[in-house]
Amino acid sequence: MAFESLSERLSQAMKNITGQGKLTEKNMNDMLKEVRMSLLEADVNYGVVKDFVARVKEKALGQEVMESLNPSQMVVKIVRDELQELLGSSDTELTLNPDGLTTVMMAGLQGTGKTTASGKIARYAKQKLKKKVLLVAADVVRPAAIDQLQTLGQQVGVDVFTLGPDVTAVETARQGLDYARENGHDLVIFDTAGRLHVDQALMDELRQMEELIHPDNILLTVDAMTGQDIVNVAKSFDDQLDITGLVVTKMDGDARGGGLLSVRSITSVPVVFVSGGEKMEDLEQFHPDRMADRILG
Ligand code: GDP
């Protein structure tokens, strides 16, 4: 199927409509149908699409068509503004502790790219924020996670703290925190365990770690490719933990940003980073305005 951008589709929908002046409700409904279809095709959550279209309709109806714009451009502008509002009005940074040690706790289901993101954020904090970073291997559930984190640490040139798979995650976190204080690190990233599904044991462990660390940042990794399910997963984590930001991974497989849009609007937690590949440099700070452009096409 040929890729048709949302703005192209709206122009197309306007082609049959002649005359200037106010958009009629009928014309508007034709255009809103295109908006709805386009978002659903991008795998945006159904409830999110419904609310979104209702808000666009409310704003658009009755508005005078400006001289310099044709009606489709006006709708595109309203859609763009709505998207921007949904995605967040400004960039979100990591929260840095001005008095010393900044802590970042990672959370997320297994396979979402949490360990990979820990390495990428370590690289980012070292290079961009000029921090002395420590990675703490507190995922003692997935057998290869500790080795993986050590390899990533080596690759990006930051220290990795581990007590091996036989010590609990909470104890590892406790000692990792002490180690960072004693060794002059100023930013610590805790890679935590995931599970294949959200379960209470996972949440209990994460909450214990939250109480122990009092993290400045709790970043939830969500996989953009999981479609509609991304919303349920993010909601479960957000209900139980004080999530401060999202890391949306595998954006290389979600060209139209449907997953990101859904999760952002349901949790109202800001997206801090997006990851678009497996390599350590494939991490970007999230810019809502650029994402709005990408969705509009
Ligand atoms: P964890 O279980 O959440 O710690 O997941 P991992 O960090 O081990 O990642 C699971 C798989 O996803 C690995 O094969 C990663 O290389 C891959 N991965 C992670 N992030 C991305 C991404 O942004 N894009 C793609 N295509 N793959 C990714």
ipTM of the complex: 0.99
**Which among 155-159, 224-228, 262-266 has the top mean pLDDT?**
155-159
State the pLDDT at residue 142.
85
pLDDT at 14: 66
Q: Which atom of ligand 1 is nearest to the CA of 283?
A: 23
pTM, rounded to two decimals: 0.90
**What mean pLDDT do residues 138-161 have?**
95
Report the pLDDT averaged over residues 84-100: 89
- Does ligand 1 lie within 6 Å of residue 275's CB atom? yes
**89 CA from centroid of ligand 1 (Å):** 28
| Ligand 1 centroid from CA 111, angstroms | 6
For β-strands 102-108 and 159-161, DSSP reports them as unpaired
Bigger pLDDT: 68 or 137?
137
Evaluate: CB of 165 within 6 angstroms of ligand 1: no
Quick one: pLDDT at residue 75?
A: 79
